[in-house]
Amino acid sequence: MNKAKSSIWVFGDYRNYFQNRVTLQLLARAREMAPRIGAEVCAVIFGHDLDEYVGEYIAHGAEKVYALDHPDMAEYRVGPYVTLMTAAVRKYEPEIILVGATDFGREFAPRVAKRLRTGLTADCIGLEINDDGLMVQTAPSFGGNLLADIVTPEARPQMATVRPGTFQELPHDYEASGEVIRLPLPDDLPRPRVRLISAERLPQREQRLEDAKIVICGGRGMGSKTKFKKLFELARLTDGEVGATRPVVHSRWSDPDTLIGQAGRHVSPQILFSFGISGAIQHTAAINDADFIIAVNKNPNAAMMKLADLAIVADANQFCSALIRALKARIRD
Amino acid sequence: MLKLIVCIKQVPMVSELPWDSRTGTLKREMADGMINPACKHALEAALQLRHRYGAHITALTMGPPMAQECLHEAIAMGADRGILMTDRRMAGADTLITSFTLARAIEKACPDFDLVLCGCHTSDSETAQVGPQLAEELDVAGVTYAEHMEVHGRTLRMERESDDFLETLEMDLPGLVTVTTRKYTPRYAPLTGLYDAFDAPDILTLDADALGLDPKVIGMKASPTRILNVRSATAEKENIVLKGAVKRMINTLFHEFGDKISGAMGKDLKTHDHDDEEE
Ligand SMILES: Cc1cc2nc3c(=O)[nH]c(=O)nc-3n(C[C@H](O)[C@H](O)[C@H](O)COP(=O)(O)OP(=O)(O)OC[C@H]3O[C@@H](n4cnc5c(N)ncnc54)[C@H](O)[C@@H]3O)c2cc1C
């Protein structure tokens, strides 16, 4: 009997397909890793009326799609999905499973790993195949201050959840062909112990802090409520959103809604401006997805300055005013 | 009366990097321990459930002997008793083995629990995996990021936000939830409570032998994942430092990073200043 070709599986998380393309990003990364271990790239998807997604996955790099398409599976439900996934993995024995670090993925993947008694690295921001053919999974810890490289040497499959935005999706190719393998709905699925009573899509705010490409975050070092207000002007000019640290919110310089940190929001802008912020872990834990951090602080040794790509030693308020003036002069209409 | 278990972890209290760039290692011993903030939200949720329905609350932790401190604090906040699992052989466990070990302690010390509450993640390793994996290991229903919890007979009704949906869920008990940090702001431990908690604490200490666990199935050796190395994330960054006159720094900012800023803004910028052109 010839051994089946090894495979990399990407879990098809399509609930917010138009907002969150992490599945496509993972297919792209899987395509890059696959030749290193002679694997094929597969997507696996559960739900109902899936043809459109199956087509998209093939167009974005899946050579094979395992699809369970059934009206009973129309709702996203962790319990049954875990059972289905575990059964499929036992049958087809993929070498690697990648799951997007969405809320669903972060609940689903640990439970699949547990049932399969294998390792799982959470929220990876890097994946590589090393010379031993193992997937090296890079995960942040301590609020992104440290990076750990983790492998699963023996247990199989190797599993990782990956932050959305870590990899770039491939351009689509609707001419690409792929094989679709239909998975049957088992008739012995256990009765779910968690029941969904209702689900409503949350109203989309006009622009959410979480989605902003530029976030302008201010801390106690801005000095006063009046001075802090300048950050809103900077936000208007840059089409950004204002975030704040806890002392700022406590002093009512800004709304509780703008709190960034462990007790507040988590942001992932292309550029994060940080004005007068010390860089306590309760705050920085929620900004480590920012691509580029520009920190302004009068203390060059503040933890925030060490985390920054660009650390500007200056008075935060004075620098903010000067930046506003400079931007006004530079924006071409 | 409900039997609640709250899993808490002691984490290093760090506002500075716990990282020695000279030796390239974690300075764990230098960092004071504190209760992982998200675990305090789980404890607060348990205290609020007790207030409404009556409950007995067990705080459970696995860690070095020093982790006992966070049980004292949990008792000072209102937990009825603490369980400390401490054993050198348990050290270095990954989430798979941590959840396995926690489950064995729960079966030993509180087998007839109704609900396990966990923090939704830790501030040190941030995997958010132990909660869901513990539900699997205990073979009970599990829900992450729970808020607005209500008990109706043998079911727990709750809400949560998940991937842009607001969901209302019902779960059979016994079950496990990880608790969101958006609700359930932790109370402060009153000073008298702290004294009492240190005076006559009801804390049970368990090791691998007490749990009847073969050392081969616990700790780092049993864990499927291996950490190859840990490095400082900041070392990956160029970390350019600018000092001096504000005007100069702004010119440099636009000169070097103007395209980046302009791209993120979605607006066209003059990135080269007049002064530059003369140079
Ligand atoms: C359980 C828990 C949860 C928490 N959750 C959060 C959270 O979600 N979000 C959060 O933000 N915090 C949170 N905190 C608080 C956190 O620990 C810090 O206290 C907070 O982030 C500090 O805010 P800051 O940097 O604005 O203020 P500070 O720490 O006071 O820092 C001010 C900084 O500004 C600089 N500065 C001062 N004057 C100037 C000037 N004129 N120009 C330039 N720089 C100047 C100083 O050098 C300093 O670095 C939490 C704490 C706990 C215990």
| C-alpha span between B252 and B260 (Å, rounded) | 13
Mean pLDDT of A89-108: 97
Residue A201 lies in a domain: no
| Ramachandran class of A191: left when φ > 0, alpha when ψ lies in -120 to 50, beta otherwise | beta
Q: Which ligand 1 atom sits closest to the C-alpha of A245?
A: 11
Inter-residue contact A193 to B154 (CB < 8 Å): no
Q: Is A48 annotated as a binding residue?
A: no
Candidates A297, A307, A321: which one to mutate for ligand 1, based on the most atoms within 8 Å of Cβ?
A297
- Listed residues A165, A182, A199: the one ending a domain: A182
Mean pLDDT of A156-170: 90
Provide residues with CB under 6 Å of ligand 1: A 219-221, 223, 245-248, 259-264, 276-278, 280, 282-283, 297-299, 302, 315-317; B 37
Looking at the structure, tell me whether residues A18 and A107 fall in a common domain.
Answer: yes
Cβ-defined contact of B126 to A193 (cutoff 8 Å): no
Q: Is A254 annotated as a binding residue?
A: no
Highest mean pLDDT among A18-27, A254-263, B1-10, B255-264: B1-10
List of chain A residues whose C-beta atoms are within 8 Å of the C-beta of residue B265:
213-214, 238-240
Q: Which of A241-255, B141-155, B171-185, B231-245 has the lowest mean pLDDT?
A: B231-245
Total of domains in chain A: 2
Q: What is the reported pLDDT for B254?
A: 93
CA–centroid distance, A280 to ligand 1, in Å, is 6
Cβ of residue A326 closer than 8 Å to a chain B Cβ: yes
**H-state helical runs in chain A:** 22-33, 51-59, 78-92, 103-116, 225-238, 246-250, 281-284, 303-307, 316-330
Mean pLDDT of A34-63: 97
The neighbouring-strand residues paired with A137 are A127, A150
Among B54, B43, B118, which residue's Cα sits nearest to residue B78? B43
H or E segment to which residue A238 belongs: helix A225-238
Candidates A142, A282, A315, A321: which one to mutate for ligand 1, based on the most atoms within 8 Å of Cβ?
A282
Q: Is A177 annotated as a binding residue?
A: no
List of chain A residues whose C-beta atoms are within 8 Å of the C-beta of residue B240:
309-311
Looking at the structure, tell me whether residues A24 and A86 fall in a common domain.
Answer: yes
| C-alpha span between B100 and A287 (Å, rounded) | 32
Looking at the structure, tell me whether residues A25 and A171 fall in a common domain.
Answer: yes
Q: What's the CATH number where A124 sits?
A: 3.40.50.620
Residue A14 lies in a domain: yes
Q: Which ligand 1 atom sits closest to the C-alpha of A315?
A: 42
Nearest-CA distance from A164 to chain B in Å?
12
- Listed residues A182, A201, A224: the one ending a domain: A182
Q: Is A297 annotated as a binding residue?
A: yes
| C-alpha span between A166 and A139 (Å, rounded) | 11
H or E segment to which residue A26 belongs: helix A22-33
Q: What is the predicted ipTM?
A: 0.85
Mean pLDDT of B94-117: 97
**Count of C-beta atoms within a 10 Å radius of residue B154:** 11
Looking at the structure, tell me whether residues A166 and A230 fall in a common domain.
Answer: no
Inter-residue contact A87 to A44 (CB < 8 Å): no
Looking at the structure, tell me whether residues A273 and A231 fall in a common domain.
Answer: yes
**Count of C-beta atoms within a 10 Å radius of residue A274:** 33
Residue A49 has pLDDT above 50, yes or no: yes
What 8-state DSSP symbol labels residue B200? S
- What would the pLDDT profile of B164-200 be if each residue is shown by its tens digit? 899 999 999 999 999 998 889 898 877 776 777 677 6
Q: Which residues contact B191 (CB under 8 A, 6 or more apart)?
A: none
- Listed residues A136, A167, A182: the one ending a domain: A182
Q: What is the reported pLDDT for B57?
A: 98
Looking at the structure, tell me whether residues A160 and A215 fall in a common domain.
Answer: no
Average pLDDT, chain B: 89
The two tokens of residue A278 are: 């010390």
CA–centroid distance, A296 to ligand 1, in Å, is 13
CA–centroid distance, B32 to ligand 1, in Å, is 19
| C-alpha span between A269 and A220 (Å, rounded) | 21
Looking at the structure, tell me whether residues A155 and A61 fall in a common domain.
Answer: yes
The neighbouring-strand residues paired with A259 are A244
Q: What is the reported pLDDT for B210?
A: 96
Phi and psi for B207 in degrees, rounded to 5? -120, -175
Residue A291 has pLDDT above 50, yes or no: yes
List of chain A residues whose C-beta atoms are within 8 Å of the C-beta of residue B245:
none
The two tokens of residue A28 are: 């792209």
Sorted by where each begins, the domain ranges of chain B are 2-222, 246-278
CATH node for B2-222: 3.40.50.620
Among A110, A128, A150, A139, which residue's Cα sits nearest to residue A11? A110
Q: What is the reported pLDDT for A282?
A: 85
Residue A32 lies in a domain: yes
The two tokens of residue A173 are: 């190719």
Burial of A279 (0-12, 13-18, 19+ CB in 10 A): buried
Looking at the structure, tell me whether residues A28 and A156 fall in a common domain.
Answer: yes
What 8-state DSSP symbol labels residue B32? P
Q: What is the reported pLDDT for B101?
A: 97
Nearest-CA distance from A2 to chain B in Å?
28
- What would the pLDDT profile of A110-152 be if each residue is shown by its tens digit? 999 999 999 999 999 999 999 999 999 999 887 777 889 999 9
Mean pLDDT of B10-16: 71
| C-alpha span between A38 and A24 (Å, rounded) | 20
Looking at the structure, tell me whether residues A163 and A223 fall in a common domain.
Answer: no
Residue A1 lies in a domain: no
CA–centroid distance, A242 to ligand 1, in Å, is 15
Q: What is the reported pLDDT for B24?
A: 56
Domain that holds residue A117: 7-182
Residue A207 has pLDDT above 70, yes or no: no
**H-state helical runs in chain B:** 37-53, 68-77, 95-109, 130-138, 191-199, 219-222, 246-265, 274-278
Looking at the structure, tell me whether residues A226 and A160 fall in a common domain.
Answer: no
Looking at the structure, tell me whether residues A11 and A141 fall in a common domain.
Answer: yes
3-state secondary structure of A126: strand
- Nearest residue (by CA) to ligand 1, atom 51, is A282
Residue B19 binned pLDDT confidence (cut-offs 50, 70, 90): low
Query: For chain A, what percent of residues have pLDDT higher than 90?
Result: 77
Cβ-defined contact of A121 to B18 (cutoff 8 Å): no
Looking at the structure, tell me whether residues A234 and A147 fall in a common domain.
Answer: no
Cβ-defined contact of B257 to A292 (cutoff 8 Å): yes
pTM of the model: 0.80
Q: What's the CATH number where A281 sits?
A: 3.40.50.1220
Average pLDDT, chain A: 93
Residue A205 has pLDDT above 60, yes or no: no
Q: What is the reported pLDDT for B164?
A: 86
Question: Which residue type does A311 have?
Answer: A
Residue A284 lies in a domain: yes
